[in-house]
Structure 1
């Protein structure tokens, strides 16, 4: 089928599902710490930045049993999607011998294409590879090239945002400064290293910062890097879609903060978040989920690096306007959605806090029903 996806709820026909094969560790370096620090829950371990200069010492290994269980959960999700008559595409495999990527400006570890929602966005008949924010993920969309190339052959448009050089000077570190208030989980970053490739702040933005509502696309902007990415997307989409800026609704991604389940219905983290939504979205009905409970999450050891807040399970996937995939560890959330006449399909996902993504993050919808973007907001 031809590429076609303008929103997050129309009946899903084709999807890319990420893979965790050959995941082994997280690499602690500037871009990783900047990205994950704001999501660190305040009931978790201290998250220091000061590390030994040896790069190997900066790697945070992931225990084999967690990776094995994650692979089990992802493959089970593939089976569930297929049982719903959805065609499932998979990324190319990360070769276990590939340990590092290098550019003129940096070197970094490499991870498989698991959270495929992040580094690209599908808008109608166009694939846009976005400008990455984490060095280890710089070439991640290469694993999606076989799928993208097939859609291109069938008529899809395919664009790539300018790739950032990603020197230390490229990153907006203003939200983590020496003036950070006491109690911040990340030590101040006051030692960016100069590089001959410095060009100043660069555009960096993820697809998971976008809320697609037919003709309207809302984009979360909370750093100067995001603002540059927003400007590029606004100019690129001019005349085709209406682009709107959300000012710091979340630190980066918004799909554990607000999701559209169908026209006129939002899943919103809290009433406080709802008050910050644009007026036109505040008129929609809203579901406020129950607070996460401790027993919904595995208990980890002190050396396990927890990356996401406890709200990660709001990261659900709609496969139609009345059917939604939800983490089976969240019975209260499932009952809440069912009370709003939604059919819930439970999906096991145990270690979402260790791998930085939920069910929505793991998927990139490429074909949904519908032939043109609908105007859900009335101009």
Structure 2
């Protein structure tokens, strides 16, 4: 088995990176941060609630992450953690200066496909150097035989970001830009969401890098707000979880035309626990498959847990109390590095 082996979202999990919440903060006002994360609910950059998250949010989130890691270990999964960083330190390019955010969501930073790890050209300046916290782990995987690719570092100049009335797509198509969480793996088919965290040029770059073994399918006009894994979640071959607020029966991606669908029920129990709130209650469908019959799910998402059980999927229901505040559920805060299984065609 290669040290890195990730072909889909459900094969039996063997190794994973789980994020850390140490020093997590809302970055200082910046054009990119405003356009991607706040333009839909604030009127100016000055209103961004910058600064460290509360001690309670950090303490409780750290406990939830450690509980999650312990459960994964109990199933024989190797758990790795990124290096703790000081996200308050400013950094700059020739065109801008910012500070950092967190290492809570490794899913956003690195994209494992097959035996290859791809550092993605992320949409936020504030997360530009986030991959550095994973360098020691990436070097170890490289020494173990994994391919390691870094996308071209984007300029992220001011003209990258569109805001205001009639702005249309937030990210201009000036250079490849996308977060790894804009992508879902379904064997030889790869879904890529065009949104405020991924542009069309990013999809073209990814297709060219992956080559003819894969087909990158663009998902567009479904959800403009950031990542794909609160809208679509493949559970096992032939079964997919979809967000009914964003995906209609007529607009189910063609990859799933012969699949059964679980329409995620409303999740009123997934509540915001502090301010500011970045994610909706749909973050509750952001689950992690340990294997095709077992999912780690937010314990507050009881209606979803019942639906999964009804379809033969057992659940580890765990707390992730500040998922809406930190904008990350169990899929976001983990990065599956190695799953058993081979590259297959599921369409």
2:46 alignment partner in structure 1: 51
CA separation of 1:296 and 1:238: change in aligned 2, threshold 3 A: closer
CA separation of 1:150 and 1:272: change in aligned 2, threshold 3 A: closer
Q: How does 1:1-379 map to 2 (within 5 A)?
A: 2-37=3-38, 46-51=41-46, 59-95=50-86, 99-171=89-161, 173=162, 176-179=163-166, 201-222=174-195, 226-251=199-224, 252-270=226-244, 273=247, 274-293=249-268, 295-300=269-274, 304-370=275-341, 372-377=342-347
How far is the alpha carbon of 1:271 from its aligned partner? Answer: 7.4
How far is the alpha carbon of 1:58 from its aligned partner? Answer: 6.3
CA separation of 1:33 and 1:95: change in aligned 2, threshold 3 A: closer
**Which moves more between the two structures, 261-270 or 330-339?**
330-339
How far is the alpha carbon of 1:74 from its aligned partner? Answer: 0.9
Paired with 2:166 and 2:214, the residues of 1 have a C-alpha distance of 40
CA separation of 1:326 and 1:48: change in aligned 2, threshold 3 A: same
Paired with 1:237 and 1:124, the residues of 2 have a C-alpha distance of 10
Deviations 1:212-268 (A, max 9, x none): 011111111246961111110111111221222112322131100011000000000
2:296 partner SS: strand
TM-score, length basis structure 2: 0.92
**Which moves more between the two structures, 158-167 or 24-33?**
24-33
2:315 partner SS: strand
TM-score, length basis structure 1: 0.84
Deviations 1:307-355 (A, max 9, x none): 1122111100001000000001122211111011101001110011111
CA separation of 1:223 and 1:82: change in aligned 2, threshold 3 A: closer
Deviations 1:55-78 (A, max 9, x none): xx8624422111111111111111
1:275 partner SS: helix
CA separation of 1:224 and 1:95: change in aligned 2, threshold 3 A: closer
1:296 partner SS: coil
What is the number of equivalent residue pairs in this alignment?
342
1:245 partner SS: strand
- CA RMSD in angstroms, aligned pairs only: 2.3
Paired with 2:221 and 2:89, the residues of 1 have a C-alpha distance of 34
Counterpart contact for 2:107–2:332, Cα < 8 Å = yes
How far is the alpha carbon of 1:50 from its aligned partner? Answer: 4.5
How far is the alpha carbon of 1:368 from its aligned partner? Answer: 0.2
Larger Rg: 1
Counterpart contact for 2:232–2:241, Cα < 8 Å = yes
How far is the alpha carbon of 1:180 from its aligned partner? Answer: 6.8
Paired with 1:50 and 1:168, the residues of 2 have a C-alpha distance of 14
Paired with 2:196 and 2:330, the residues of 1 have a C-alpha distance of 26
CA separation of 1:4 and 1:50: change in aligned 2, threshold 3 A: closer
Paired with 2:313 and 2:77, the residues of 1 have a C-alpha distance of 19
Paired with 1:140 and 1:280, the residues of 2 have a C-alpha distance of 32
Unaligned runs of 5+ in 2: none
